[in-house]
Structure 1
Amino acid sequence: MKPSASPLTTAEIAALALSLAHLGSGPQADAARHGLRHAFEHLDLDDDVVSATLSTLTAPLPDEVADRARTIAGCITSRLVIRLHYRDVSGRVTVRDVDPVTCMVHRQHWYLVGMCRMRRAIRAFRFDRIIAAEQTFLPARPHRPEGFLPFQGKRAA
């Protein structure tokens, strides 16, 4: 008998979901999203949050957001600073360099979580508010995802 596997960590789920986000549609993408749904069935999480979050995780992103998601994923994987042109909730646009750590989904929204060099603090950037995302050639400082999730109320060391 095979021993039961430990559940996926939040950072592992975020990485898998980000990989799926920009797959688009088609047989591979559908199979991968079904696998993610199956993984969620074995986690002990709040049902309301899970259903809203799972719906967002398994829906393909709009093309322009998917393009930015690929850039974000590349920067996380390559450990490079990402330059964001970001529109905040009040409509103000800023350009920020961010040490990307991970991505997450909460209910209906995708977020990039990272260390904002402008604010010198951990921030979450909603994908649909990112106007542009550019890879830089600056190495990002290492940050462990576990220290950033959930991101609310955390301060940089």
Structure 2
Amino acid sequence: MANVTKSPASPLTTAEIAALALSLAHLGSGPQATAARLGLRHAFEQLHLDDEVVATTLATLTEPMPDAVADRARTIAAAITSRMVVRLHYRDVSGRITVREVDPVTCMVHRDHWYLVGMCRLRRGIRAFRFDRIIATEPTFVPARPHLATDFLPFQGKRAA
């Protein structure tokens, strides 16, 4: 198989990396998923980022999610792609469980955790929901209001350094 290289003049954006990582995260641990995660790891290495936070984030991006979390991630990814509201059963840091309808915008990883970022209709504001605190997800047939990731996460519109 031939090696293909991408011009260094057009590195992946953080939004592109997040989309690739989310797609890979819920693939499981089959041979193609393993090879794809290795490719993502190589893409990060080309960025020459040497930082403990980045290393931890990279590990989170390139490790398979537990099966139950991966199932919920697939529902979230489908909601983002189809631009539909997703219903979350969410346990907050205090242990309280709420049901939230969210206009999903993007997913991100920070250190050890995946997050869904979106407009929470219950709280009427931008929220980040940790994947491991999402108990259940339900697709809806309600169209999500359009929101740009750049409006939620200023760094999403910038190219990786």
> What TM-score results when the alignment is normalised by the length of structure 1?
0.90
- Amino acid of the structure 1 residue aligned with 2:78: G
What's the CA shift for 1:148? 1.6
Q: Does residue 93 in structure 1 map to residue 75 in structure 2?
A: no
What's the CA shift for 1:26? 1.7
Return structure 1 stretches of 4+ with deviation > 4 angstroms.
none
User: How do 1:4-153 residues align onto structure 2 when only pairs under 5 Å count?
Assistant: 4-43=8-47, 45=49, 47-149=51-153
What's the CA shift for 1:46? 5.0
What's the CA shift for 1:42? 2.2
RMSD: 1.6
What's the CA shift for 1:129? 0.3
Structure 1: stretches of 5+ with no match in the other structure = 152-157
What's the CA shift for 1:43? 2.1
CA distance in 2, matches of 1:147, 1:44: 27
CA distance in 1, matches of 2:104, 2:49: 26
CA-to-aligned-CA distance 1:22-45 (integer Å, 9 cap, x gap): 111121011100111111112254
What's the CA shift for 1:11? 1.2
- Amino acid of the structure 1 residue aligned with 2:153: L
Structure 2: stretches of 5+ with no match in the other structure = 1-5, 156-161
The count of aligned residue pairs is: 150
Identity fraction in percent: 81
CA distance in 1, matches of 2:120, 2:13: 24
